Amino acid sequence: MTKILISGIPGTGKTTIAEYMAQNLDFQHVDMEADSFRARRELEQNPDAFLDRLAAMGRVVISWGFSPFIDRPGVDALIAAGYKFVWLDGDHTITLRNFLARESNDPHQEANYYGQMHMILSTELVDRLRPICVDPFHGNEFRSPEEIAAEIVTKATEPSSSKQITP
């Protein structure tokens, strides 16, 4: 059974890629931020029940732009349950542009982007969790969802990808 947690910096296409995997690669997609973070609250309130529910789904891909401060116990629980942690990162100018486009180009949202980036960088999240890193861009453009998803599935199912460490 393949279990993948996709996260990453804002504007890298986490949800888009997970939706592609659900529609085209026979994964069940759980968006931790949908419905006012309903799935996140379920994981926080009863991790065992949440993980049992996901285990019954078969191949699962979770998309979650989580907070390194608040959500770390949930992320740790998913990794301990065998989820391969995939981190999407790329050119930050492009990710800012994508993030703002998603937020209707509201200039006030730029501060939100930088706040999220500060949390990620200040906690050294990537260094500490050692995820499988994937760059969703080629030059100044997104690679195709098909290409990104194929890379994620390949890397997540390689035997060497089981060496993730959670200090």
The string of pLDDT tens digits covering residues 111-134 is 999 999 999 988 888 888 999 999
What is 3-162's CATH number? 3.40.50.300
Predicted local confidence at residue 165, as pLDDT: 43
Answer yes or no: is pLDDT of 106 > 70.
yes
Answer yes or no: is pLDDT of 87 > 80.
yes
- What's the CA angle centered on 138, arms 4 and 18, to 5 degrees? 25
Structure tokens at 52: 């049992």
Give 37-69 pLDDT, tens digit per residue: 999 999 999 999 999 999 999 999 999 999 888
Answer yes or no: is pLDDT of 25 > 90.
yes
The domain limits of the chain are 3-162
pLDDT band of 107, cuts 50, 70, 90: confident
Answer yes or no: is pLDDT of 27 > 80.
yes
Answer yes or no: is pLDDT of 93 > 60.
yes
Predicted local confidence at residue 159, as pLDDT: 78
Q: How are beta strands 137-138 and 141-142 bridged, if at all?
A: antiparallel
Nearest to 29 by CA among 19, 43, 38, 37: 19
- Please, what is the angle between helix 47-55 and helix 34-45, to 10°? 110
